[in-house]
A and B are shown apart, each in its own frame.
Chain A
Amino acid sequence: MIGGLFIYNHKGEVLISRVYRDDIARNAVDAFRVNVIHARQQVRSPVTNIARTSFFHVKRSNIWLAAVTKQNVNAAMVFEFLYKMCDVMAAYFGKISEENIKNNFVLIYELLDEILD
């Protein structure tokens, strides 16, 4: 399915990064930051294609969750997954905020391990 999952704070710093496939390089993290989070115009679509890499993002308060892929994945499923991911995180440690994510990053990695192979 997806090739990687990143969580950014509002400044575009990576809080959580998990890469599942070889085709996603570390620079994908920066591509999203530059083109979406730091983009001057308002983002016009929750799906962005940068250099043949697709980014799906949802935003909760000032936290960005981005799923990355280079394949023709099921877009609806990816978004459903991102929402569920938010729900699960909220159930474990309350509001999704930068502080909470930093405080619980080990927990998030463990969760990711369980919900996504």
Chain B
Amino acid sequence: MTDSKYFTTTKKGEIFELKAELNSDKKEKKKEAVKKVIASMTVGKDVSALFPDVVNCMQTDNLELKKLVYLYLMNYAKSQPDMAIMAVNTFVKDCEDPNPLIRALAVRTMGCIRVDKITEYLCEPLRKCLKDEDPYVRKTAAVCVAKLHDINAQLVEDQGFLDTLKDLISDSNPMVVANAVAALSEIAESHPSSNLLDLNPQSINKLLTALNECTEWGQIFILDCLASYTPKDDREAQSICERVTPRLSHANSAVVLSAVKVLMKFMEMLSKDLDYYGTLLKKLAPPLVTLLSAEPELQYVALRNINLIVQKRPEILKHEMKVFFVKYNDPIYVKLEKLDIMIRLASQANIAQVLAELKEYATEVDVDFVRKAVRAIGRCAIKVEQSAERCVSTLLDLIQTKVNYVVQEAIVVIKDIFRKYPNKYESVIATLCENLDSLDEPEARAAMIWIVGEYAERIDNADELLESFLEGFHDESTQVQLQLLTAIVKLFLKKPTETQELVQQVLSLATQDSDNPDLRDRGYIYWRLLSTDPVAAKEVVLAEKPLISEETDLIEPTLLDELICYIGTLASVYHKPPSAFVEGGRGVVHKSLPPRTASSESTESPETAPAGAPPGEQLDVVPTQGDLLGDLLNLDLGPPVSGPPLATSAVQMGAVDLLGGGLDSLVRPRRLDIGAPNFVAPPAAAVPANLGAPMGSGLSDLFDLTSGVGTLSGSYVAPKAVWLPAMKAKGLEISGTFTRQAGSISMDLQLTNKALQVMTDFAIQFNRNSFGLAPAAPLQVHAPLSPTQTVEISLPLSTAGSVMKTEPLNNLQVAVKNNIDVFYFSTLYPLHILFVEDGKMDRQMFLATWKDIPNENEAQFQIRDCPLNAEAVSSRLQGSSIFTVARRNVEGQDMLYQSLRLTNGIWVLAELRIQPGNPSFTLSLKCRAPEVSQHVYQAYETILKN
């Protein structure tokens, strides 16, 4: 029996005929009719008019017919939502069918019917199916949850399906686990904020176990899911790597690539000295090579990924050059990608082989491929200095072939070779000049003109050559016009006597007869230069040019790191972040490689991020707000000066309100006058509502995560944390910390250039903040910051800046400017940098003050898990200018009475209760500005626990 007859076009009245057949009594006829309907549907005919008739066929015990009807339903339910409800009953019934295949079919189809009204009826059957005894039904139901979430996320959450789905991760059947993971990943992707896949060592363990048992598709989902996990330290990373490594030998390329992704990502956390690191590197090469024997489409995906891997870790494939040699029957897209990788892998060791290959490719038929091959030869010359000579002679051979596009391409790359090795290969210029007439592409013409201009003094007939181009000046492209203008000016400066006429001609062509503003501008500049000071003109125009760097098409390091996290996916094929081609909020979460966190005390190279927490959690880049902007306007005027001039800017905004309230005490330095009873008690309203609540905010987390130990002299210094990730600041990464030493506060910054261009003109500015912190000197970066370079700067701070209460109190909004852009970020400073060195209060005064401050200003905190005894506590706190005024022993408990003073004159009094043997301390703080208590407590925590 053949089905193709259903595709034959029937005449008009077809729908009517079908309707009759659908309502026929004979089962066979019905089935035939439904098939016809589906066939018309496939070719794009609208058969929705038959909806009721087809739905009528639904109640049948014939599985094939049922499937067809369901297929029809999926397609047309959306256009006929009211009719679709008629089908609900059958679905519900089918979900209880004794045959698991039918149960699964029903639940699958229901997920595909994207009609709001139906989804409500779906919930009950779905709940049953999620707990079905048959794994096939359970796995289908798991996928259905993801589908339903896409239609109505709220409903899925309200019904608790997400929890059920999470439970399925522990299912006994690996197929169910894999599908549950797939469904959860899918849901998590559309809701990046939800912590749905809360991966922890236990769940990771479950996934790793399931990995060995499930199908190849399940393995891909599990591996992709693993790749989004960040292990807590290098040991965990290593153990996961060990269990993932066997997947590298899988026959399915997608499994291999996903495994490579997990390994590449976690490798970032392993120390390079580790034996295991080397072993892993060795293990990665063979599977990548094997990928190249897969089908061409997969080879293409693999090659695009290998391109990334080679840029990230060139050592993996450095000995595998041969596998990237092009085969004659490779499709063109594979050839081009292989060529790209060959250039990246080219080194002194293999250059001879590579050149021989490239020369071969240059004689192929495909124009694009040949061009790329010629260009590759030039790139090799620039990359491997020893081979430059051989490359140039190869290029000359190719020019002799006189094949038009080969010659042009060769000239373009020879220009680059000249720029890399000036005054070395000029002997070839004669050969190049012979081919002048055959050049018809702008890029080649421009390159040739550049060469003539650059070496004008060695080319006898340079003026003639350039003059010949000048004839058709207006027909040339802008690129050629600009180059011609410059070349003639160069020529004039080198041989002024013979070429005066020529230069005048080109200047007038460029400035008077051209509509192109770039060309006119350049013409005027040259004209002015030449007419005012020919010597200066010579210095400018004939200045020594910087050598070109060897790799110009590298992907920016930050983008590369992000793409490594997307190995195997479309992003890695396009070499673009997903946000560039995915619409809406789906999948646009930025991924980044994990920072290296060592469990042992191995010292790391300085470029690895020192903070343990994944970047992006502790900081938020400040959105441009009105008042910040106002302050930032100053940035362009010059480096900020110390002192309080910022307040003069007109943007005062709502600050007045804030300052007028209970914050007087904070803002104005107040001398402590114990006897005088004229204190203005801060209004109760100003007491933050969360006072005394256990604090779980960023600061202590931040410090807990870091394992470094601060210097003991001076107050405690937190390790540097990343404040501004490179991704958010066009390649500039800023990490830093605050220090206080001998009474002066400074901000220790580490600036890293992760972009490909040099950064200069740094300046920094703070927004107004609670304690008037401001830079006391301009940000001085002495030399331009070249790519990958890092510089450490200590920026002295003063507290004389203008004051505005921030939320939270210790929030500091910073703007940093460089030659590229202005970037904003905010950070929290630890309050103890504001504790002054003369903050010890007299005993009597302490007592009086303590009594004087109203009780509602007292706040109590618990400091947990601090193993120190009273003496150690006291001396450590003193290091950070928290002074013990008195010490008493009450009923076996040590009571420390302490005082400290902030830079703005606020006194904080403390009572610290320590019970020997109990690691939890009770801290009572009294202060006239109770909003600082919370932060003082955080400072205690920080100092005592580090």
A residues with a Cβ closer than 8 A to B are 1, 13-17, 19-23, 26, 29, 42, 44-47, 49, 52, 54, 56, 58, 69-77, 79-83, 99, 102-106, 109-110, 113, 117
What residues of A have a CB within 8 angstroms of the CB of B566 in the complex? 72
What residues of B have a CB within 8 angstroms of the CB of A54 in the complex? 570, 581
What residues of B have a CB within 8 angstroms of the CB of A72 in the complex? 566, 569-571, 578, 581-582, 587
Given the known interface contacts A70-B582, A80-B254, the answer about A106 and B300 at a Cβ–Cβ threshold of 8 Å is no
Q: Report Cα–Cα, A69/B573, bound state, in Å.
A: 14
Partner of A14, one of B44, B143, B586: B44
What residues of A have a CB within 8 angstroms of the CB of B105 in the complex? 113
Q: Tell me how far the C-beta of A108 lies from the nearest C-beta in chain B, rounded to whole angstroms.
A: 10
Is B570 a contact of A47 with CB atoms below 8 Å? yes
* 21 A-B pairs whose Cβ atoms sit less than 8 Å apart in the complex: A15-B42, A19-B75, A21-B150, A26-B44, A45-B300, A46-B300, A47-B300, A49-B574, A70-B583, A72-B570, A74-B258, A75-B569, A76-B258, A76-B298, A76-B568, A77-B220, A79-B253, A79-B301, A109-B67, A113-B71, A113-B108
Residue in A closest to B586 when the chains form the complex, CB atoms: A71
Residues of B1-48 contacting chain A, CB below 8 A:
2-4, 6-7, 35, 38-39, 42-44
Is A76 a contact of B4 with CB atoms below 8 Å? no
Is A106 a contact of B258 with CB atoms below 8 Å? no
Residue in A closest to B574 when the chains form the complex, CB atoms: A49
A44-B333, A77-B568, A106-B64 are known; give 8 further A-B pairs, CB within 8 A: A14-B43, A17-B42, A56-B297, A71-B582, A75-B568, A75-B572, A102-B3, A113-B105
B228 contacts the other chain (Cβ, under 8 Å)?
A: no
B553 contacts the other chain (Cβ, under 8 Å)?
A: no
Is B64 a contact of A74 with CB atoms below 8 Å? no
What residues of B have a CB within 8 angstroms of the CB of A106 in the complex? 3, 35, 38, 64, 68
Is B573 a contact of A47 with CB atoms below 8 Å? yes
Is A104 a contact of B297 with CB atoms below 8 Å? no
Q: Which of A16, A54, A75, A106 has the most CB of B within 10 A?
A: A75
Residue in A closest to B577 when the chains form the complex, CB atoms: A72
Q: Report Cα–Cα, A1/B32, bound state, in Å.
A: 33
Q: Report Cα–Cα, A74/B769, bound state, in Å.
A: 47
B296 contacts the other chain (Cβ, under 8 Å)?
A: yes
Q: Report Cα–Cα, A47/B581, bound state, in Å.
A: 13
Q: Which of A79, A103, A104 has the most CB of B within 10 A?
A: A79
Is A44 a contact of B582 with CB atoms below 8 Å? no
What residues of B have a CB within 8 angstroms of the CB of A70 in the complex? 582-583
Is A103 a contact of B3 with CB atoms below 8 Å? yes
Given the known interface contacts A72-B587, A75-B572, A75-B573, the answer about A102 and B4 at a Cβ–Cβ threshold of 8 Å is yes
Q: Tell me how far the C-beta of A11 lies from the nearest C-beta in chain B, rounded to whole angstroms.
A: 12
B302 contacts the other chain (Cβ, under 8 Å)?
A: yes
Q: Report Cα–Cα, A47/B568, bound state, in Å.
A: 13
B733 contacts the other chain (Cβ, under 8 Å)?
A: no
Is A103 a contact of B2 with CB atoms below 8 Å? yes
Residues of B643-679 contacting chain A, CB below 8 A:
none
Q: Report Cα–Cα, A105/B4, bound state, in Å.
A: 8
Q: Tell me how far the C-beta of B338 lies from the nearest C-beta in chain A, rounded to whole angstroms.
A: 14
Q: Report Cα–Cα, A117/B148, bound state, in Å.
A: 13
Given the known interface contacts A54-B581, A106-B64, the answer about A46 and B333 at a Cβ–Cβ threshold of 8 Å is yes
Residues of B546-591 contacting chain A, CB below 8 A:
566, 568-574, 578, 581-583, 586-587
Per CB-CB distance, the 8 closest pairs between chain A and chain B, nearest first, are A76-B254, A102-B4, A77-B254, A72-B578, A46-B297, A103-B2, A117-B143, A76-B257
Chain B 99-113, CB-CB to A under 8 Å as 1, else 0, gives: 000000100100110
Q: Tell me how far the C-beta of B165 lies from the nearest C-beta in chain A, rounded to whole angstroms.
A: 14
Q: Which of B105, B298, B368 has the most CB of A within 10 A?
A: B298
What residues of A have a CB within 8 angstroms of the CB of B574 in the complex? 47, 49
Given the known interface contacts A72-B578, A75-B572, A75-B573, the answer about A46 and B254 at a Cβ–Cβ threshold of 8 Å is no
